[in-house]
Amino acid sequence: MSVVAVVPAAGSGQRLGAALPKAFVPVGGVPILVRAVDGLLCSGVVDRVVVAVPADQVDAARSLLAGRPVMVVAGGSDRTDSVRNALHAIDGASGGERVHGGERAGTHAGDAHTDDTPGADHIVLVHDAARPLAPPELTAAVVAAVRSGRHAVVPVLPLADTVKQVDGAGRVHGTVDRSVLRAVQTPQGFTRALLDRAYAAAGPTATDDAGLVEALGEPVHTVPGHASAFKVTTPWDLELAEMLLARTPGAGT
Ligand code: C5P
């Protein structure tokens, strides 16, 4: 089974407060999106990547990702739409173009069913561009779990903080038992058939892909997550990523 990674990268990144869309903000001198894609490819278990970026950033993303087995498509107004556009592009349905050494290969809707179009039984990973430091080993572990027969797999971490339920006025209504809670990361892995069913039934409000599978009543399995797979959301997260890269030899440009 071939493995295709879908990377939603079409968010504006308002909470980051940067001049650029979040995926294009550099961390350690390299755009967040490029780090996320290279991390996936470095795992050695990903055959192709489809990236969804803001419509006005498609050409910029193609240049940044030149030379990699990557297709770039325009994202949508929410994350679910962006992933859906990328899923369509895997089959050539949305006219995405593949990047070859900086040139567009011209795989339009009509001719994208080429030799490397994966079969319907492939594995799909969905990975937030906003997690540029997710270790390649995490990607490999998720793919291994899907290959072992799990149709939906998510990396999770236990919660360190106590969790309270709070109303709109800031009043606490209870303490949640954190021992049964997990924070969920990406990459999340799925068999293509299950993810297609989940997206066919999807509403607009899902914050992750496994949630759509859960809504079908299908099981979702977990593997241990990794602290480095944190999501860059705020300026503090960006600073943390910069600090982590600064202490890793050869991690910059
Ligand atoms: O906003 P948040 O950080 O939760 O977004 C998670 C991921 O979804 C990010 O990588 C972001 O670029 C992506 N996204 C997207 N299309 C949108 C909104 C978010 O691809 N319309």
Residue 172 forms part of a structural domain = no
More confidently predicted of 180 and 103: 180
140-189 residue pLDDT tens: 999 999 999 999 999 999 999 999 999 999 999 999 999 999 999 999 99
**ω into residue 187 within 30 of 0, thus cis?**
yes
CATH code where residue 13 lies: 3.90.550.10
Q: Two tokens at 216?
A: 């079908």
Regarding the beta carbon of 11 and ligand 1, being less than 6 Å apart is answered yes
Q: What per-residue confidence (pLDDT) applies to 214?
A: 96
Q: Two tokens at 24?
A: 């294009």
Q: How many CA atoms lie within 13 A of 162 on its CB side?
A: 5
Q: Which atom of ligand 1 is nearest to the CA of 131?
A: 10
Residue 206 — pLDDT band, cuts 50, 70, 90? confident
**What is the whole-number distance in angstroms between the Cα of residue 53 and the centre of ligand 1?**
9
Residue 133 forms part of a structural domain = yes
More confidently predicted of 130 and 252: 130
Q: Is residue 78 within 8 Å of 175, Cβ to Cβ? A: no
Q: Is residue 142 within 8 Å of 189, Cβ to Cβ? A: yes
Regarding the beta carbon of 7 and ligand 1, being less than 6 Å apart is answered no
Residue 174 forms part of a structural domain = no
**What is the whole-number distance in angstroms between the Cα of residue 124 and the centre of ligand 1?**
17
How many folded domains does the chain comprise? 1
Residue 175 forms part of a structural domain = no
Mean pLDDT along residues 213-236: 97
Q: Which atom of ligand 1 is nearest to the CA of 77?
A: 21
Burial 101-110 (b: 16+ CB within 10 A, else e): eeeeeebeee
Q: Two tokens at 109?
A: 């809707």
Q: Is residue 240 within 8 Å of 247, Cβ to Cβ? A: no
Residue 169 forms part of a structural domain = no
**What is the whole-number distance in angstroms between the Cα of residue 174 and the centre of ligand 1?**
31
Mean pLDDT along residues 132-141: 98
More confidently predicted of 132 and 113: 132
**What is the whole-number distance in angstroms between the Cα of residue 146 and the centre of ligand 1?**
24
HEC string of 94-116?
CCCEEEECCEECCCCCCCCCCCC
Q: Which domain holds residue 233?
A: 3-156+184-246
Going 21 to 27 to 29 to 34, the CA torsion angle's sign is negative
The vertex-223 CA angle with 191 and 39, nearest 5°, equals: 75
Residue whose CA is at the smallest distance from ligand 1 atom 4: 207
**What is the whole-number distance in angstroms between the Cα of residue 173 and the centre of ligand 1?**
30
Burial 205-218 (b: 16+ CB within 10 A, else e): ebebbbbbbeeeee
Regarding the beta carbon of 131 and ligand 1, being less than 6 Å apart is answered no
**What is the whole-number distance in angstroms between the Cα of residue 137 and the centre of ligand 1?**
23
Residue 252 forms part of a structural domain = no
Q: What per-residue confidence (pLDDT) applies to 17?
A: 87
**What is the whole-number distance in angstroms between the Cα of residue 11 and the centre of ligand 1?**
4
The pairing of strands 103-104 and 97-100 is: antiparallel
Q: Is residue 17 within 8 Å of 113, Cβ to Cβ? A: no
Regarding the beta carbon of 129 and ligand 1, being less than 6 Å apart is answered yes
Residue 38 forms part of a structural domain = yes
Residue whose CA is at the smallest distance from ligand 1 atom 11: 11
Regarding the beta carbon of 130 and ligand 1, being less than 6 Å apart is answered yes
pTM attached to this predicted model: 0.90
Q: What's the rounded Cα separation, in Å, for the pair 154 and 125?
A: 10
Q: What per-residue confidence (pLDDT) applies to 95?
A: 41
Q: What per-residue confidence (pLDDT) applies to 112?
A: 35
Q: Is residue 174 within 8 Å of 185, Cβ to Cβ? A: no
Going 118 to 120 to 122 to 126, the CA torsion angle's sign is positive
Regarding the beta carbon of 225 and ligand 1, being less than 6 Å apart is answered no
Residue 165 forms part of a structural domain = no
24-60 residue pLDDT tens: 999 999 999 999 999 999 999 999 999 999 999 999 9
